[in-house]
Amino acid sequence: MRKILIPILTVALVVTGYFAYNQYRMNEDLMRRAESQYQRSFHELVFNVDTINSQLAQTLISSSPEQVMLSLTNLWRESFAASSNLGGIPIAMVELDKTDKLINDIAEYSYYILKSNNLQKQKLAEKEWDKLQEFYERSKVVRNELQSVEAAVLDRDLSFVEVETVVMRRGRDLADNTIVDGFRIIEDKVKAFPDLQFDEGVQKIEPEPRPIAGREISEEEAVAIAKEFMNNHDGPITKAEISFSAEGKIPIFGVRTFKEEQDIPTYIEVTKKGGHVIQMYMQRAIKEANLDFQAAEESAQEFLKEHNLTGMELVDIDTDTNTAVFTFVPTEDQIRLYSDMVKTHVALDNGQIISFDQTSYLAYHHERTIPAPTLTEEKATSSMNTNFDVQQVSLALVPGEFKENQEVLCYEVRGKMKEEKFILFINADTGEDFRIVRLTKPREFEITVR
Amino acid sequence: MLENKRIKALAFIMILATFIVLVAMDFVSVIGNRTLVYGSTGQDVKTLQSKLKGLGFHKGKADGVYGWETLRSVKWFQDQFGLKNDGVVGASTWAALNKAKPGPVTAQKGGNKTTSNNDVAVLAKMISGEARGEPYIGQVAVGAVIMNRVKDSKFPNTVYGVCFQPGAFDAVRDGQYFSPPSETSLKAARSAISGYDPTYGALYYWNPVTATSKWIWSRRIMLRLGKHVFGI
């Protein structure tokens, strides 16, 4: 008996041992690969921040406009890379808001100076110089701290995979917690500086929503509004109730409605002020498409009209096999108002609107007084690149990038170059290209769904 | 001497027991209702794989080893047939497998393929992994948070950059991301990419029951939707 048993057990042990060893090796191998990715991101981050710091110093001491321009370009590029590398290391559990913001402010400010100043002719303004000086001081603090962490990582072979597995996943501290502590110190030190104040003009715009007209409504009224909306849209509603309430930029009540013999609700968001249906989301199975875009657009226009959204022009279509998202903008004196978009998601089986979002419209639409364009259409488009085959021109009011140019009157020129479709927005006052938007949709491919 | 005999007897009983278990397992595997889980092997796993293959849910070999690929196929099958998609092949899954006919599943649904571009696909897989079972609006909301991050300067500038930021999303860590998206999540992704945002600018969402980070609670909560709360 024993004669058979011992060899069998021995073989089993060897096989198990070999298997375990193999697993262990594979695991080690994977960990090293992850570690090297993290190490690369980290060291690059330190390099980026160091470069940012030195480029800021160079900008501050340089007196030649060309050199300043070059430094600013480098600053913009390095701060972009820094953000991306910071996103590549496993420190999601450390709050790095202010550090992220600093890096980003540097990127945006250098971009702003590059874009707005004609540096060929003039030097940095006093206040720009001050701002760069501030950035220099702050980035120096970040750099110093990062370099201390880097020294420890190199000297003591600290592992980011360990940070990930122990600190991030299990929420415990490591025996040598230098990496995590280092990032916490950076954030604390950056936090200690007073917030940098930028001129109005420099801030990227996120325009404040205009106050919505109307009085405050109660929950019951919101339910009644949603019920009526859905009764008209999708047939009799058997039940409607408040589902949630949100206090964001536009306070709303979330209502859900049920149809008979249907347990998947439709969600409707009703503004607390004025009681407007601002968004709607239906969930239903969508059968095979049998409508073309024109029929679908008519159906969407019909829906918009029912809800008092008239004079809307279709500006974009995004589609899959059986639904399409149509984006509309209102017009004023035939000028397209791009800030005031409305979106409708149309089911292509019967043309029903399955979701709807008029947040931008409610937040920004108002009667504007738009001055007539300085340039005529012919004048604005006359100097256009000859590679561009113009198909359609209209006037549009386009939201700008910075606060100082909130909305810019442009000629919207749709056309193509070979198979690439674009919109060129040409400033109707200066004739410069204000923005170029690529319309060619990214390539679509088949994907398996479950 | 007595000791020796006792050991022998014990060893004999153990071997016999193992033998019986093995035979029993083999026997059960023939009639095909042993409960199979990730890691199971045997004839019945082969049967499972070839059944899944016949139904169009399994692309790999029927090698009798319940591995990663088989798990994915089983989950997919369970999902399609309204079963709990836990990857455990118990009585109900076996019953569904035996009842299912090849073809009709895909035919009914108008083909289980659809078209998408890469941004939509990545976003849809993420929504599917993070918010499956949530109401449609909740799925759009998860997509909107990702899109808000792409636009926000504090986060990476691409959909993939945001999704694969280490530790940012559970679905990437636990592997739920790595399976086909649901059809609903594709629609939700398309809505979110075209600018729908039921959260009005939220940058974070978390499940109040399972959230582990302490600092996440310092965020201002804007709304509660399904099992997630959304905040900035």
Please spell the DSSP secondary structure of A129-188, one letter per residue: HHHHHHHHHHHHHHHHHHHHHHHHHHHHT--HHHIIIIIIIH----SS-HHHHHHHHHHH
Fold of the CATH domain A226-364: TATA-Binding Protein (3.30.310)
Summarize the confidence of residues B148-156 as an average pLDDT.
85
B70's tokens: 């088989």
Does A198 score more than 50 pLDDT?
yes
Find the closest chain A residue to B168 by CA distance.
A92
The residue type of A330 is: P
CB contacts of A357 in chain B (<8 Å) are: 195-197
Q: Which of A267-271, A415-419, B184-188 has the lowest mean pLDDT?
A: A415-419
Q: pLDDT of A112-132, one tens digit each?
A: 888 776 555 567 778 888 889
Count other Cβ atoms within 10 Å, centred on residue A103.
29
Matching residue, tokens 């899944």: B52
Does B102 score more than 90 pLDDT?
no
Q: pLDDT of A247-280, one tens digit each?
A: 878 899 999 999 988 888 999 999 999 999 999 9
pLDDT of B108 reads: 34
Give ∠ CA A426-A432-A438 in degrees, rounded to 5. Answer: 50
Q: Is the CB of A248 less than 8 angstroms away from the CB of B199?
A: yes
pLDDT of A204 reads: 60
pLDDT band at A351 (very low <50, low <70, confident <90, very high): very high
Matching residue, tokens 């013999």: A261
Are the C-beta atoms of residues A167 and A203 closer than 8 Å to each other?
no
Q: Is the CB of A447 less than 8 angstroms away from the CB of B199?
A: no
Q: Is the CB of A281 less than 8 angstroms away from the CB of B222?
A: no
Residues whose CB is less than 8 angstroms from the CB of residue A183 and which lie 6 or more positions away in sequence, other chains included: A91, A94, A96, A99, A149
Does A284 score more than 50 pLDDT?
yes
SS3 string of chain B? CHHHHHHHHHHHHHHHHHHHHHHHHHHHHHHCCCCECCCCECHHHHHHHHHHHHCCCCCCCCCCECCHHHHHHHHHHHHHCCCCCCCCECHHHHHHHHHCCCCHHHHHCCCCEEEECHHHHHHHHHHHHHHCCCCHHHHHHHHHHHHHHHHCCCCCCCHHHHHCCCCCCHHHHCCCCCCCCCHHHHHHHHHHHCCCCCCCCCCEEECCCCCCCCHHHHCCEEEEECCEEEEC
The residue type of A140 is: K
* pLDDT mean across residues, chain A: 88
Does A402 score more than 80 pLDDT?
no
pLDDT of B107 reads: 32
Summarize the confidence of residues A378-394 as an average pLDDT.
86
Task: Return the residue in B69, B154, B174, B204 with the most chain A beta carbons within 10 A, the one to mutate for interface testing.
Answer: B154
**Closest Cα of chain B to A283: distance in Å?**
6
Q: Which DSSP category does A88 fall into?
A: T
Written out in words, the top-level CATH class of the domain with range B32-108 is: mainly alpha
pLDDT of A329 reads: 94
Does B178 score more than 80 pLDDT?
yes
- Count of residues for chain A? 450
Find the closest chain A residue to B228 by CA distance.
A244
The residue type of A96 is: L
pLDDT of B109 reads: 38
Q: Is the CB of B213 less than 8 angstroms away from the CB of A322?
A: no
The residue type of A313 is: E
Domain extents in chain B: 32-108, 118-231
| ipTM > 0.85, yes or no | no
Find the closest chain B residue to A281 by CA distance.
B137
Size of interface A-B (CB pairs under 8 A): 187
CB contacts of B180 in chain A (<8 Å) are: 447-450
B230: β partners: B205, B223
pLDDT band at B1 (very low <50, low <70, confident <90, very high): low
H/E stretch holding A78 reads helix A65-86
Does A323 score more than 70 pLDDT?
yes
pLDDT of B104 reads: 38
Cα–Cα dist A87/A81, whole Å: 10
Q: pLDDT of A172-197, one tens digit each?
A: 888 889 999 999 999 999 999 888 77
Q: Is the CB of B215 less than 8 angstroms away from the CB of A93?
A: yes
A224's tokens: 């009644």
Are the C-beta atoms of residues A96 and A105 closer than 8 Å to each other?
no
Summarize the confidence of residues B123-152 as an average pLDDT.
92
Nearest to B166 among A92, A269, A279 (CB): A92
Q: Is the CB of B136 less than 8 angstroms away from the CB of A282?
A: yes
**Closest Cα of chain A to B5: distance in Å?**
11
A414: β partners: A392, A423
Q: Is the CB of A101 less than 8 angstroms away from the CB of B154?
A: yes
Helix pair B2-31, A2-61: axis angle to 10 deg: 60
CB contacts of B117 in chain A (<8 Å) are: 441-445
Q: Is the CB of A445 less than 8 angstroms away from the CB of B116?
A: yes
Q: pLDDT of B23-65, one tens digit each?
A: 655 555 445 567 888 888 888 888 888 888 877 778 777 888 8
pLDDT band at A21 (very low <50, low <70, confident <90, very high): very high
pLDDT of B30 reads: 47
Find the closest chain B residue to A168 by CA distance.
B167
**Closest Cα of chain B to A376: distance in Å?**
33
Q: Is the CB of A97 less than 8 angstroms away from the CB of B154?
A: yes
Instruction: List strands edge to edge, sheet with B221-225.
Output: B204-206, B228-231, B221-225
Residues whose CB is less than 8 angstroms from the CB of residue A342 and which lie 6 or more positions away in sequence, other chains included: A304, A309, A312, A327, A328, A329, A330, A356, A357, A358, A360, A361
Residues whose CB is less than 8 angstroms from the CB of residue A294 and which lie 6 or more positions away in sequence, other chains included: none
Using DSSP, state whether A343 is helix, strand or coil. strand
pLDDT of B110 reads: 38
Summarize the confidence of residues B95-111 as an average pLDDT.
55
Find the closest chain A residue to B156 by CA distance.
A84
Q: Is the CB of B194 less than 8 angstroms away from the CB of A318?
A: yes
Beta pairing, strands A335-337 & A389-399: parallel
Task: Return the residue in B191, B199, B213, B228 with the most chain A beta carbons within 10 A, the one to mutate for interface testing.
Answer: B191
Domain extents in chain A: 2-202, 226-364, 377-438
Q: Which of A51-60, B116-125, B148-157 has the lowest mean pLDDT?
A: B148-157
- Count of residues for chain B? 232
Does A148 score more than 90 pLDDT?
yes
Q: Name the residue among B110, B108, B104 with its Cα closest to residue B56.
A: B104
Share of chain A above pLDDT 90, in %: 50
Burial zone of A138 (CB within 10 Å; 0-12 exposed, 13-18 middle, 19+ buried)? buried
Q: What is the CATH number of domain B118-231?
A: 1.10.10.2520
Does A445 score more than 50 pLDDT?
yes
CB contacts of A264 in chain B (<8 Å) are: 135-136
Using DSSP, state whether A331 is helix, strand or coil. strand
Task: Return the residue in B153, B182, B217 with the most chain A beta carbons within 10 A, the one to mutate for interface testing.
Answer: B153
Cα–Cα dist B181/B139, whole Å: 12
Share of chain A above pLDDT 70, in %: 96
**Closest Cα of chain B to A326: distance in Å?**
9
Q: Is the CB of B140 less than 8 angstroms away from the CB of A281?
A: yes
**Closest Cα of chain B to A244: distance in Å?**
6
Q: pLDDT of B123-136, one tens digit each?
A: 999 999 999 888 99
Q: pLDDT of B60-101, one tens digit each?
A: 778 888 887 788 888 888 877 777 777 888 888 888 887 776
Please spell the DSSP secondary structure of A239-256, one letter per residue: EEEEEEEE-SSS-EEEEE
Q: Which one has a higher pLDDT value, B56 or A430?
A: A430
pLDDT of A117 reads: 66
Residue A260 phi, psi (nearest 5): -60, 140
Does A434 score more than 90 pLDDT?
no
Share of chain B above pLDDT 70, in %: 85
- DSSP H helices, A200-329, are 219-234, 293-306
pLDDT of B103 reads: 46
CA distances from B122 to B45, B128, B203, B213 (A): 32, 10, 18, 25
Find the closest chain A residue to B80 by CA distance.
A450
